[in-house]
């Protein structure tokens, strides 16, 4: 996933230049090259496999587009005696300036939306924010993935103050991570939540990365335990159709998370006090928007051994 960002980075500083080739699909099918003088044309994903004859200032040279050329300029592959350089003309500079402005607008949109949201709630319930500022007593702690598609409040139709949330890449719960442990301790001991939900989701990029050999920088360290989990369950996971493997490993990761939470002293203390406290494992199905309950909820110390078995052998 990072490779594409790197290759696209070239076109970011040069500024994209889009050329529409009406006969592109036909040309890919038939293998007939498209003659063009558009050396500054940015290579788009739909141009992969197309053949071009690109003018280098003197002759038309053949260029066949491959995936790793996406984001670069056609002219970079149709060499002249002098090396091709892309000049930032006034117009292109203007275009880039507009793009920056556009980005600012989208941030302004967020602020604007927030103003509208606050005004709408204030109009319906003048005391809403006064009460919200007084404190919180959520009943649920949600430990989920940082993925932008896991919009917890939206997908659960809950209000501010309803859910205490911790999110990180691939919803990991390392038993030595001070961050997640502090969140759990605060939620269980002080906020006295009644439910802890460990929530993964389908097509998780973190889980996918853990299953691949590509390096993702510092994330390699963070995702290594998921790699270990994959190795421990390799036979089962690899017996599944390829498209189900990431999601199954995602489920196993959730099961392991539930297992970890269920063993924490702060959770056992709550049970010892006779408090009702459930630890659940859910998966958000991105293709339907629905939450799937993995049916591994733990509500007391007696179940802890069972859930441990579930994570290694029953699935």
Contacts 24+ apart (CB under 8 A), 25-34: 27/51, 33/62
Nearest approach, Cβ of residue 198 and Zn ion (Å): 13
Which listed residue (145, 180, 216, 307) binds Zn ion by CB under 5 A? 145
Region from 110-118, 128-136, 140-148, 262-270 binding Zn ion, contact rule CB under 5 A: 140-148
Q: Is 109 a catalytic residue?
A: no
Q: Is 201 a catalytic residue?
A: yes
Nearest approach, Cβ of residue 203 and Zn ion (Å): 8
- CA distances from residue 311 to 43, 79, 154, 230, 308 in whole angstroms, order as listed: 46, 57, 30, 12, 5
Q: Is 149 a catalytic residue?
A: yes
Nearest approach, Cβ of residue 225 and Zn ion (Å): 15
98 in Cβ contact with 81 (< 8 Å): no
173, two tokens: 């719960």
Marked catalytic residue, from 39, 166, 201, 245:
201
201 is in an annotated binding site: yes
Helix, strand and coil content of the chain, in percent to the nearest 5, comes to 50, 15, 35
224 in Cβ contact with 305 (< 8 Å): no
Question: 281 forms bridges with which residues in the sheet?
Answer: 198
By CB under 5 A, tell whether 247 contacts Zn ion: no
Q: How many CA atoms lie within 13 A of 192 on its CB side?
A: 5
What is the per-residue binding string for Zn ion in 146-165, x denoting contact by CB under 5 A? -x------------------
By CB under 5 A, tell whether 209 contacts Zn ion: no
Q: Is 204 a catalytic residue?
A: yes
Which listed residue (54, 204, 277, 310) binds Zn ion by CB under 5 A? 204
Q: How far apart are CA 274 and CA 144, in angstroms?
A: 27
Which residues fall in the annotated binding site for Zn(2+)? 145, 147, 201, 204
Provide the binding-site residues for Zn ion, judged by CB under 5 A.
145, 147, 204, 206
């Amino acid at each position: 996933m990072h490779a594409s960002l790197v290759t696209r980075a070239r076109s970011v500083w040069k500024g994209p230049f889009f050329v529409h080739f009406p006969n592109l699909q036909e040309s890919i099918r038939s293998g007939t090259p498209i003659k063009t003088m558009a050396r500054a044309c940015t290579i788009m994903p739909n141009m992969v496999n197309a053949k071009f004859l690109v003018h280098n200032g003197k002759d038309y040279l053949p260029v066949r587009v491959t995936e790793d050329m996406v984001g670069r300029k056609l002219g970079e592959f149709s060499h002249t005696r002098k090396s091709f350089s892309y000049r930032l003309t006034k117009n292109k500079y203007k275009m880039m300036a507009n793009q920056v402005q556009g980005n600012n607008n989208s941030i302004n949109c967020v602020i604007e939306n927030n103003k509208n949201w606050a005004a709408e709630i204030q109009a319906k319930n003048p005391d809403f924010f006064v009460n919200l500022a007084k404190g919180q007593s959520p009943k649920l702690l949600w430990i989920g993935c940082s993925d932008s598609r896991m919009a917890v409040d939206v997908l659960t139709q809950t209000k501010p103050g309803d859910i205490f949330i911790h999110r990180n890449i691939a919803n990991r719960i390392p038993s030595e991570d001070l961050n997640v442990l502090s969140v759990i301790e605060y939620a269980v001991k002080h906020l006295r939540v009644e439910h802890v939900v460990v929530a993964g989701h389908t097509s998780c990029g973190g889980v996918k990365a853990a299953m691949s050999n590509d390096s993702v920088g510092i994330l390699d360290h963070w995702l290594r335990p998921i790699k270990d989990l994959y190795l421990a369950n390799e036979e089962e996971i690899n017996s599944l159709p390829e498209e189900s493997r990431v999601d199954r490993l995602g489920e196993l990761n959730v099961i392991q998370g539930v297992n970890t939470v269920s063993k924490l002293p702060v959770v056992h203390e709550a049970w010892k006090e006779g408090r009702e406290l459930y630890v659940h494992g859910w998966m958000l199905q991105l293709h339907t928007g629905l939450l799937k309950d993995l049916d591994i909820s733990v509500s007391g110390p007696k179940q802890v051994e069972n859930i441990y078995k579930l994570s290694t052998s029953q699935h």
